[in-house]
Amino acid sequence: MSFRVRIFLLVMLVALSAIGATAWLTLNLASREVSDALEAQSRHRAEIVEQIQRYGLRHGNWPGVNRLVTQLSDSTHLHIQLQTAEGQVLVDSDTEAHRTAGAVQAIGYDINPRPAPGELYPAPAATPGPSAGPARASPSSVIRPGLDLVPRDLYGPAPTDVLYGSRAALAVRQAAQYRTGLVYVRCLHASLGAEPALGLDQAPYLTPQQRALSPTCLEQATAKVLGDKAWFTSYWDYLDNCIGAPRRLVGDPLGSKCIEAAYADTVVTSSAVPLRLHLGARGTVDIADFGRPALIGAAGLVVVALIGTFLIARQVSRPVRRLTGASQMLAAGMLDVRVRIKGESELARLAASFNSMASALELSEERQRRLIADVAHEMRTPLSNLRGYLEALSDGVVDPSPELFASLHEETLLQGRILDDLQVLALAEAGDLGYTRTPADLAELASAAVTAHRARAAEAGLELVLEAPAPVWVEADQDRLRQVLGNLLSNAIRYTDRDGRVVVRVGREDGEAVLTVRDTGVGIAAGDLPHVFERFWRADPARQRATGGTGLGLTIAHRIVTDHGGRIEVASQPHMGTTFTVRLPALSGPGRS
Ligand code: ADP
C-alpha cells in the first residue's frame, strides 16, 4: 500500500473515531438533557404553576413576577415562559438571564390567579332570625344583602342570619374582602414599603397581623370598597340574571353555580389576568450543567486523539527512522548495512534505492581495494628488481654494461606504461573517460592500425592481412577505438610465433559492425579464457613481462567496447591461434543510424 494512502487511511481512522466518539457523546448528552428536562418538567410543573398562580392571586397583578420566574428557573433548571391569552410573551426566564431564548413546548398550562369563594356556611333556617338588625331591615337590603355592609362586618365573624348568612351574601363578602385586601396591601406598600401581597390565599386574605399594621390603610381600603355600591349592585344583578328570580335566592342550593359565576365576574376587576405557562429546556447549557461525565468524556476523547496521533506519527516515521539509522551507519563506514524492504510503497522504493546505493558503494570500495592490492603487487617485483640491480651495481657485484642499462630503462618504461593504462582504466571505471563520439568508418580505422603495425609484424616474421572490403560505420570515439585495435593487434603479433599469420577483418552482421583479429599464435587454454579481460591477468607472467605487456590492455579494450554499447569476445585453441571479436552497433552510413 502506498505511503500516502497509508497516512490517509490512518488519519481517516483517527478522524472517524474522534467524530464517532463526539457524535456519541453529543447524542448521549442531548438525550440525557432532553430526558432530564422532561423529567424536571413533570416534577416541577405543578409547583411552578402553583407558585406563579399564588403570586398572581396575592398581588392582583403581574409586575414583579419576573423575579419569581428567574428564581424558579434557577431552581428547576427549566426554561419558563409566561404568555398572555393573546400569545404575547410577558416574561421569559432565558431573556431575564440574558441568554438567547430557547424553544418552549407548544402545550401551555393555565395560570388562573383569580380567587375562588372559600367554603360558604350552610344557610341557616329559612325564617328571618332575631339577629336581623333594624339597620338591615330596609327593603333593598332584604333583597340584596351586602349593599350595606359596614367595616365591622367585613372582618368580624361571618353573619349567620337568614339574609346575611346566605351563601350569596357570604360570597360577595369574600369578594369584598379580596378587593379590600388588595387595596390595603398597596396602601401598606406605599406607606411602609411592604410587599404588596396578601397574606392568605383564601378569605379573609389578610392575616390579623397584616391588618394590625396600619389601621389607617385598613379604614381607607374598607371605606373605598364598601362605598362602591355599583360594584355590589353588579354582583347581585349578575346573580339575579343567572338564577332568574331574586326570591329563589335565599337558601336555594341550586344557586351554587350562579354564586361562583357571579363571584368570578365581580373579582375580575381587581384580580390579575390569567396567563399561559410554557416550559422548555434551558436556552444554553453552561459548562457547569455539562456535567462531570461530559468533561471526562471530552478529556478521554482528547487522550484518544493524542494517543492515535502519536501511534500514527510513530508508524509513519518508523521506516524513515530506520533509513536514517542505516544512512548514519553507512556514513560511519559500515558499507554492508542494508534496510529491510516491505511492500511496494514510496518508502519501500526509497529503501531499495538506499540498498542499491550501499551495494554500489561497497562494490566500488572493493574494486578500489583490489586495484590498490593489484597495483602494489605489480609494482613490487619490478621495483625490487631495479633495487637489486642498483644495489649490485653500487656494491660492484655486477658490472655496468649498456645492455644492463637498456634493460633497466625498459623496465622503467614498462612501469610508466602500466601507470598510464591504470589511469585510463581508473577514469573509465569512474565514468570520467569522456568519449567524443562521432561517426567513424571501422574499416578505415582497422586499415590505419594494420598499416601502423605492419613494420612490427614484418620484424616478427608474420604475415599481416586486412580484409575490409567496404566501409562499416559506427558512432564512436575514434581515438579510443584505435586504442582497442592497437591492443588487439599488438597482442596478436606478440603471442604469435614467426611465420604465423594475423588477419584483421571488418564487416557487418545482423546490423552490427564486427571486427575480428585472428592469429595463428600460442592460443589460450580453455580454463584461462574467462580471465583474459581481468586486470593484470596474464597466462604466463614471465613471458608477457618479457614482451613488455602490462596485463591491462584487454581490460581497457573491454571497458571501451562496453562503454560504446558493444561487446568483445574471445575464442582460442592452444597452439592453433586466438580470435578476438568486437561487435558494435552499426550506423547505416556516416551520420545515419
Ligand atoms: P598484456 O599486456 O600482458 O598482453 P593483455 O591484457 O593485453 O595484457 O593480455 C592479457 C593476457 O591475455 C596476456 O598476458 C596473454 O597471456 C593473453 N593474450 C592476449 N592476447 C593473446 C593472443 N592473441 N594470443 C594468446 N594469448 C593472448
Domain with 397, as residue range(s), is 346-426
Ligand 1: atom nearest CA of 492 is 23
Closest CA to 564 of 438, 449, 406: 438
Ligand 1: atom nearest CA of 532 is 12
Ligand 1: atom nearest CA of 521 is 24
User: Are both 447 and 574 inside the same structural domain?
Assistant: yes
The number of angstroms, rounded, from the C-alpha of 22 to the middle of its chain's C-alpha atoms is 14
Contact (CB, 8 A) for 308 and 296: no
Cis status, amide bond into 246, omega within 30 of 0: no
pLDDT classification of 297: cutoffs 50, 70, 90: confident
User: Are both 468 and 555 inside the same structural domain?
Assistant: yes
Domain count along the chain: 4
Q: How would you write 78-89 as a 3-class SS string?
A: EEEEEECCCCCE
User: For residue 345, is pLDDT > 90?
Assistant: no
Q: Is 500 in the pocket of ligand 1 (CB under 6 A)?
A: no
Predicted confidence at residue 570, as pLDDT, reads 97
User: For residue 71, is pLDDT > 80?
Assistant: yes
Q: Is 462 in the pocket of ligand 1 (CB under 6 A)?
A: no
* 122 is a domain residue: no
Expressed in angstroms and rounded, the spacing between residue 467 Cα and the centre of ligand 1 is: 23
User: Are both 198 and 244 inside the same structural domain?
Assistant: yes
User: For residue 578, is pLDDT > 90?
Assistant: yes
Most confident of 98-102, 209-213, 475-479: 475-479
pLDDT mean over 25-43: 77
Contact (CB, 8 A) for 71 and 65: no
User: Are both 152 and 46 inside the same structural domain?
Assistant: no
* 42 is a domain residue: yes
Q: Is 447 in the pocket of ligand 1 (CB under 6 A)?
A: no
User: For residue 122, is pLDDT > 60?
Assistant: no
User: Are both 111 and 249 inside the same structural domain?
Assistant: no
Instruction: State the first-to-last Cα distance of the chain, in angstroms, to the nearest integer.
Output: 44
Strands 89-92 vs 78-83: parallel, antiparallel or unpaired: antiparallel
User: Are both 267 and 281 inside the same structural domain?
Assistant: no
* 256 is a domain residue: yes
Expressed in angstroms and rounded, the spacing between residue 571 Cα and the centre of ligand 1 is: 13
pLDDT classification of 587: cutoffs 50, 70, 90: very high
Contact (CB, 8 A) for 279 and 111: no
Predicted confidence at residue 447, as pLDDT, reads 96
Q: Is 578 in the pocket of ligand 1 (CB under 6 A)?
A: yes
Higher per-residue confidence, 520 vs 383: 520
Closest CA to 428 of 514, 552, 248, 580: 552
Q: How far apart, in whole angstroms, are the C-alpha atoms of residue 284 and residue 277? A: 20
Q: Is 538 in the pocket of ligand 1 (CB under 6 A)?
A: yes
Q: How far apart, in whole angstroms, are the C-alpha atoms of residue 279 and residue 81? A: 6
Expressed in angstroms and rounded, the spacing between residue 529 Cα and the centre of ligand 1 is: 10
pLDDT classification of 123: cutoffs 50, 70, 90: very low
Ligand 1: atom nearest CA of 496 is 24
User: For residue 150, is pLDDT > 70?
Assistant: no
* Alpha carbon nearest to ligand 1 atom 25, residue: 523
* Alpha carbon nearest to ligand 1 atom 2, residue: 549
Closest CA to 515 of 458, 561, 573, 454: 561
Expressed in angstroms and rounded, the spacing between residue 480 Cα and the centre of ligand 1 is: 19
Q: Is 539 in the pocket of ligand 1 (CB under 6 A)?
A: yes
Predicted confidence at residue 152, as pLDDT, reads 64
Domain end (from 271, 298, 319): 271
Most confident of 1-5, 131-135, 392-396: 392-396
Q: How many CB atoms lie within 10 A of CB 352?
A: 13
Predicted confidence at residue 145, as pLDDT, reads 56
User: For residue 126, is pLDDT > 50?
Assistant: no
User: Are both 221 and 147 inside the same structural domain?
Assistant: yes
pLDDT classification of 21: cutoffs 50, 70, 90: confident
Expressed in angstroms and rounded, the spacing between residue 525 Cα and the centre of ligand 1 is: 12
Q: Is 492 in the pocket of ligand 1 (CB under 6 A)?
A: yes
Q: How far apart, in whole angstroms, are the C-alpha atoms of residue 441 and residue 386? A: 44
Predicted confidence at residue 120, as pLDDT, reads 67
Q: Is 554 in the pocket of ligand 1 (CB under 6 A)?
A: yes
pLDDT classification of 538: cutoffs 50, 70, 90: confident
* 17 is a domain residue: no
Backbone dihedral angles phi then psi of residue 92, each to the nearest 5 degrees: -135, 125
User: For residue 590, is pLDDT > 90?
Assistant: no
Predicted confidence at residue 137, as pLDDT, reads 35
pLDDT mean over 457-478: 95
* Alpha carbon nearest to ligand 1 atom 4, residue: 549
* Alpha carbon nearest to ligand 1 atom 23, residue: 492
Most confident of 280-284, 403-407, 410-414, 480-484: 480-484
Place of cell 599469420: 501
* Alpha carbon nearest to ligand 1 atom 14, residue: 538
Expressed in angstroms and rounded, the spacing between residue 496 Cα and the centre of ligand 1 is: 11
User: Are both 108 and 235 inside the same structural domain?
Assistant: no
Mutational pocket test of ligand 1: of 484, 495, 540, the residue with most ligand atoms within 8 Å of the beta carbon: 495
Higher per-residue confidence, 26 vs 247: 26
Predicted confidence at residue 291, as pLDDT, reads 61
Task: Quote the crossing angle between the two packed helices 287-331 and 3-59, to the nearest 10°.
Answer: 170
> What are 473-532's pLDDT values in tens digits?
999 999 999 999 999 999 999 999 999 999 999 999 998 999 999 999 999 999 999 999
> What are 104-117's pLDDT values in tens digits?
888 889 998 988 88
Predicted confidence at residue 524, as pLDDT, reads 95
Predicted confidence at residue 139, as pLDDT, reads 35
Domain end (from 426, 456, 471): 426
User: Are both 509 and 469 inside the same structural domain?
Assistant: yes
Q: Give the CATH number for residue 581.
A: 3.30.565.10
What whole-number percentage of the chain has pLDDT above 70?
85
* 291 is a domain residue: no
Domain end (from 248, 271, 294): 271
* 325 is a domain residue: no
Q: Is 577 in the pocket of ligand 1 (CB under 6 A)?
A: no
Expressed in angstroms and rounded, the spacing between residue 551 Cα and the centre of ligand 1 is: 7
Expressed in angstroms and rounded, the spacing between residue 498 Cα and the centre of ligand 1 is: 17
Q: Is 550 in the pocket of ligand 1 (CB under 6 A)?
A: yes
User: Are both 448 and 509 inside the same structural domain?
Assistant: yes
Mutational pocket test of ligand 1: of 491, 494, 537, 581, the residue with most ligand atoms within 8 Å of the beta carbon: 491
Ligand 1: atom nearest CA of 549 is 2
User: For residue 286, is pLDDT > 70?
Assistant: no
User: Are both 376 and 411 inside the same structural domain?
Assistant: yes
Q: How far apart, in whole angstroms, are the C-alpha atoms of residue 359 and residue 341? A: 15
User: Are both 525 and 567 inside the same structural domain?
Assistant: yes
> Minimum mean pLDDT among 14-18, 197-201, 215-219: which range?
14-18
pLDDT classification of 128: cutoffs 50, 70, 90: very low
Expressed in angstroms and rounded, the spacing between residue 489 Cα and the centre of ligand 1 is: 11
Identify the three-state secondary structure at position 592: strand
Predicted confidence at residue 159, as pLDDT, reads 64
Expressed in angstroms and rounded, the spacing between residue 522 Cα and the centre of ligand 1 is: 10
Q: Where are the alpha helices (DSSP H) in 60-117?
A: 65-76, 93-96
Expressed in angstroms and rounded, the spacing between residue 491 Cα and the centre of ligand 1 is: 6
* 19 is a domain residue: no
State the pTM of this model: 0.49
User: For residue 136, is pLDDT > 90?
Assistant: no
* 8 is a domain residue: no
Predicted confidence at residue 151, as pLDDT, reads 62
Q: Is 113 in the pocket of ligand 1 (CB under 6 A)?
A: no
